[in-house]
Each structure stands twice: as structure tokens, then as C-alpha cells.
Amino acid sequence: MAATSQQELTPFSWGEISLTQTTYVNGVPHPTRQAMGEWLEYDDPQKAIDNILARNPHIERHSIPLNLRALDGKMRDTLVYHPIGFLLIVMESGQPKAKAMKEAVAEFVWSFAGPRALSNKERMERMKHRRTLILDLCKTGDAAAREAFIADLSEVSLELGLPVPAALSVRQLSLPV
């Protein structure tokens, strides 16, 4: 695992969420697997989260490797998870706390990962880009290009705080297969 920077782990609290090991990346708290497992009240926190990740490898896209100073003072390469990764782990957990705290975790994610304020110029540029993506998506017959346009359209829509268009399937758009 290649470390991208050197930082320290610290405790973090937000509302009903208290995590023992987090670090900030661009102002956003990123917890460790250990911290998430402890918060979810697993007997073996790290192993439990590792099991969830083994069943759901897509969650790893929401992690980054860092060289962190652990609470014991030692430097270690470890993965930390963006709040969206934390949410996905909570959604996959069968723990009673996970079931009870889904709404609190969603609000936590929204506060750190929701749409940022855009200037009028940025908003207009994104709206124009979104319309272009929709038009390009409707014109293309290439499956790989459609997938790329859909991914870009989803990202731009979320940046604007708009819902991702529901009619993104091939059948709904009447696109050739």
C-alpha cells in the first residue's frame, strides 16, 4: 500500500457518532476500519469490517491509503474511509447499532459530502455540462460510452444538488443495444 501523506489519528465526534480513530483529508473526517467496527460495537472490530469489505469490494473506492501516527505513537500505512464509505459499511452491517443509526450516519455524510456552494458561474457551467452529457448520452450507441456518460452525469448532478436523472437505462432512453 502506497502512503499518500503523513497524518495523525484523533478521536472524532459529531452528534451521535463518536469514532476513536479518524484523520482529516481536505477538511473531511476519514475513520479507520477499527474505529468504524468499534462504533458498530463488534466484538472483533477490525475483522468484522474486513468481512464486510470482502463481501462488498466496491466500498474500497471510498478509501485512501495514508501513513498515520496511531494512538500508540507508531507510524503505520492504513486505509481510511471517506464518509460515504462509512455509510456503505453501516448499510451493510447487521449490527443493531447500524440499523438504529442509519439516519444519523446519512446526516453525517450529508454534512461533510453534500453539495458545496457553487458560484453562479460554476453552477451555470455545470448545468451546461449536464445538458451536454444528456444529449451525448442520448446520441451514442456505444455501451462503454453510455456507461462513462452516465457516471459523469451522476457526478455533475450530485455536484449541483440535483437528483440523478431516473431515465438512465438503455430501455428508458430508447438507445440501441
Assess whether pLDDT exceeds 60 at residue 73: yes
* pLDDT for res 11: 94
Residue 62 confidence (pLDDT) above 50 = yes
Sorted by where each begins, the domain ranges of the chain are 6-113, 120-173
Per-residue confidence band for 166, with pLDDT thresholds at 50, 70 and 90: low
Question: Rounded to whole angstroms, how far apart are CA atoms 64 and 52?
Answer: 17
pLDDT at 172: 46
Q: Is the pLDDT of residue 70 over 80?
A: no
Written as nine digits, the cell of 21 is 480513530
Whether the pLDDT of residue 43 is over 60: the answer is: yes
Whole-model pTM: value is 0.63
Distance between CA 131 and CA 28 in Å, rounded?
30
